[in-house]
Amino acid sequence: MEIWFNPAQSLESILKKVAGTLEGFSEEFSPDVRASDPRFGDFQANGVLAEAKRMKKNPRELAQSFVAELEKSGELDSDLVSMSIAGPGFINFKFSPKFFGLWVAQYRDAENLKKSSGTLYAGKKVVIDYPSPNTAKQMHVGHLRILVIGEAIARLLQFCGADLVRDNHIGDWGTNFGILIFEIKRTGYVFPEDDSVALAELEELYKAGTAYVKDEEAHPGAFDEARLELVKLQQGDPENLEIWKRIVKVSNAACEKIYDLFGVHPDVTLGESFYRDKVDRIYKELCECQIAEEDEGALIVWNDSDPRYARTNENAAPFIVRKKDGGSNYASTDLATLLYRVEHFKADEVVYVTDDRQQDHFRMLFLTAKRWFDQKQYPFPSLRHVMFGKILGENGKPIKTKEGGSIKLKSLVDEATERAFAIVSEKNPDLPEEERKQIAGTIGIAAIRYADLLQNRTINYMFSWDRLLAFEGNTAPYLLYAAARILSIFRKAGTSFEAIAENNDVLLPTTDGEIALVRKLMGFSTAVQTACSELKPHYICTYLFELAGTFSSFYAADKVMDDDVNTRNLRLRLCANTYMILKTGLHLLGIETLNRM
Ligand code: ARG
């Protein structure tokens, strides 16, 4: 028998297989394996009960014959796992110390964890769309979640075996360029040498330009002029293209600094402008397939299969795939982008990370694309919109600066680092200043990330400095500290993580603390799997927090430096496995561990 990486999953498939050989079990039989109360065993299968009901049989008797068949099948080694029947027909599975010992020996290095986790997305080509900001604007706190959640999900997908393309679909072809170009020309704006100043200035120009053209009375016709600048740009006017290129360059340079800060590295940046010569095909095909229709000059799509977007719904708006003036829009570009991702990248799945205000857009996009791809017989990828809620300030309102402006990401990170520095200095006044700075840099950004990932992403969460930097509770500092503490245990024991990992002995856990810890370590696979199938990193946070807690109980109850060498080695091994899983899990969240804290 193999030492299953993910016992729940392996048991599930073995039980299904055995049920298949038994008369009367239905095709849909679900073994329903779940972690059980440790007093009874490690896992429990409840599915036989429902099956007995369906077959109108005595559940306990059915469970007995099922267990007999399992024993006969030879799938389970009685040395490693024992079975018993409880209550009306639950089947309990209990692992032996030998199974636990073999498990911690086998899954003790990060590579092996990754290999074993890489089944969910094995062989799948996935395009993930993030952070995809709009150009000509500085990145602010509103972009935090895209960076943090996008990166965690990208890492999870890769960890689960996906062949991943990070595609940064920047908004570099939108209507704002009309106003911006208009205002640049009107004011005779000259781009400064220093790109970092230019972006702030462009933002001001955009604000001023918008106010100018909207003041119809004072500046009649200005709005139309601005629109014309956009049309000229879209038609390839050389002067406007030059200005546009410069804006995009300035903007991308600034964004890249922020990406670096958050460890985000897109593989490709194919913004909206990349698709400008690819939208005509979309109009043509959608019309040919009779999916789109003309409406007062615009091209629109109704998706009747969903009442929310159906023609008959008075409150519904259609999916506008071409504007009245003939120009492309967000929808046309996204349709072209999807086709490109399938044709060029051969995507099996496309994951879009944006806030929840874009829900309708993506629903209509997916519905429209499905009809179009089916008619054209293009392979249709699985499409997922990973959306997230807002960040609220401590007053419960969307987070802003004192003056009511949007908080720049750079200043948020700076503040986190400063606050972390103060805390680290207080806790470790003896560490050299350089090291305290470096530790604070890691903790600051880790704390921001973790607080964001901790919540189920679909809900709003409240930003609180005190909470996110606390060393107790479910925070990044707490987990970083838990990991660093294990390294200090090794240092005190005169050994290291690497030295422990080299020991091949199979050592048997026996105390309650040891066994509880191994059980928790085994839960990593389920946490990763759930996080990856729902694309929700908070399952990893919850798991890591629980693991750190279980580790603390073990550490308090079982002295690591025991006189007995086997006991000592086993406990050091358990410390090492815990460290490795903490480190791997935090890495999935975009957080790197510290050697000292
Ligand atoms: N640029 C858009 C925005 O900032 C997000 C783009 C998301 N990706 C996409 N393919 N629509 O709102």
Q: Is 192 helix (H, G, I), strand (E, B) or coil?
A: coil
Beta pairing class for 90-95 and 81-86: antiparallel
Q: What is the DSSP letter of 407?
A: P
Angle between helix axes 97-106 and 565-588 (nearest 10 degrees) is 50
Question: To test ligand 1's pocket by mutation, which of 128, 130, 132 has the most ligand atoms within 8 angstroms of CB?
Answer: 132
The class that CATH gives domain 408-597 is mainly alpha
d(CA 113, CA 105): 12
**Positions of the chain with pLDDT under 70:** none
Distant-in-sequence, close-in-space partners of 9: CB < 8 Å, separation ≥ 6: 525, 526, 529
Ligand 1 mean position, distance from CA 132 (Å): 5
Ligand 1 mean position, distance from CA 591 (Å): 25
The alpha helices in 377-475, defined as continuous H runs, are 409-427, 433-454, 465-469
What is the CATH code for 124-164+271-388?
3.40.50.620
Decide if 223 contacts 231 (C-beta within 8 A): no
Return the ligand 1 atom nearest residue 353 CA: 7
Residue 247: exposure state from Cβ atoms within 10 A (0-12, 13-18, ≥19) = buried
Q: What is the DSSP letter of 4?
A: -
Distant-in-sequence, close-in-space partners of 534: CB < 8 Å, separation ≥ 6: none
Other CB atoms within a 10 A radius of the CB of residue 325 amount to: 11
Angle between helix axes 524-534 and 538-557 (nearest 10 degrees) is 170
CA angle centred on 361, ends 459 and 529, rounded to 5°: 50
Q: Determine whether the shortest distance from the Cβ of 167 to ligand 1 is under 6 A.
A: no
Residue 456: exposure state from Cβ atoms within 10 A (0-12, 13-18, ≥19) = middle
Q: Determine whether the shortest distance from the Cβ of 137 to ligand 1 is under 6 A.
A: no
- Give me the pLDDT at residue 126, please: 98
Distant-in-sequence, close-in-space partners of 72: CB < 8 Å, separation ≥ 6: none
Q: Determine whether the shortest distance from the Cβ of 44 to ligand 1 is under 6 A.
A: no
Ligand 1 mean position, distance from CA 445 (Å): 24
Contacts 24+ apart (CB under 8 A), 112-116: 113/524, 113/580, 113/581, 113/584, 114/159, 114/584, 116/5, 116/6, 116/525
3-state per-residue secondary structure call for 456-490:
CCCCCEECCHHHHHCCCCCCHHHHHHHHHHHHHHH
- In this structure, the residue with its CA closest to atom 4 of ligand 1 is 133
Decide if 270 contacts 337 (C-beta within 8 A): yes
What is this structure's pTM? Answer: 0.94
- Give me the pLDDT at residue 420, please: 95
Q: What is the DSSP letter of 398?
A: B
Decide if 299 contacts 287 (C-beta within 8 A): yes
Q: Domain ranges for the chain, please list them.
A: 7-95, 124-164+271-388, 174-264, 408-597
Ligand 1 mean position, distance from CA 367 (Å): 18
Ligand 1 mean position, distance from CA 358 (Å): 9
Residue 167: exposure state from Cβ atoms within 10 A (0-12, 13-18, ≥19) = buried
pLDDT tens profile 224-238? 999 999 989 988 999
- Please spell the DSSP secondary structure of 233-278, one letter per residue: HHTT-HHHHHHHHHHHHHHHHHHHHHHHHTT---SB---GGGGTTT
Ligand 1 mean position, distance from CA 509 (Å): 51
d(CA 339, CA 279): 10
Q: Determine whether the shortest distance from the Cβ of 133 to ligand 1 is under 6 A.
A: yes
Ligand 1 mean position, distance from CA 366 (Å): 15
- Give me the pLDDT at residue 119, please: 87
Q: What's phi and psi for 511, nearest 5 deg?
A: -75, 160
d(CA 54, CA 52): 5
- Percent composition of the chain: helix, strand, coil (DSSP 3-state, to 5): 55, 10, 35
**Assigned token pair, 409:** 């990401």
Ligand 1 mean position, distance from CA 155 (Å): 20
Helix (H) or strand (E) holding 198: helix 195-214
**Torsion sign across C-alpha atoms 402, 405, 407, 410:** negative
> Is 7-95 CATH 3.40.50.720?
no
Question: To test ligand 1's pocket by mutation, which of 279, 341, 358 has the most ligand atoms within 8 angstroms of CB?
Answer: 358
Q: Determine whether the shortest distance from the Cβ of 354 to ligand 1 is under 6 A.
A: yes
